[in-house]
Amino acid sequence: MSMPPGEADPIVERGAERPGAAAPPARVTFNRLELNSILNLYGRHVAEGEWRDYAIDFLKDRAVFSIYRRASEVPLYRIEKEPRLARKQGAYSVIAAGGLILRRGHDLDRVLLAIGRRFKVV
**Complete DSSP assignment for 43-60:** HHHHHTTS--EEEEEE-S
Q: Looking at 34-38, 40-44, 71-75, 118-122, which range is the least confident one?
A: 118-122
Question: pLDDT for 38-65, tens place per residue?
Answer: 999 999 999 988 899 999 999 898 999 9
In a domain, 84, yes or no: yes
Q: Is residue 64 part of a domain?
A: yes
Residue 67 counted as domain residue: yes
For residue 99, give its domain range: 32-116
Residue 81 domain flag: yes
Q: Determine the Cα–Cα distance for residues 61 and 91; give it in Å rounded to an integer.
A: 11
Band of residue 71 on the pLDDT scale cut at 50, 70, 90: confident
In a domain, 13, yes or no: no
Is 96 among the domain residues?
yes
Any domain includes 4: no
- pLDDT, residue 3, reads 55
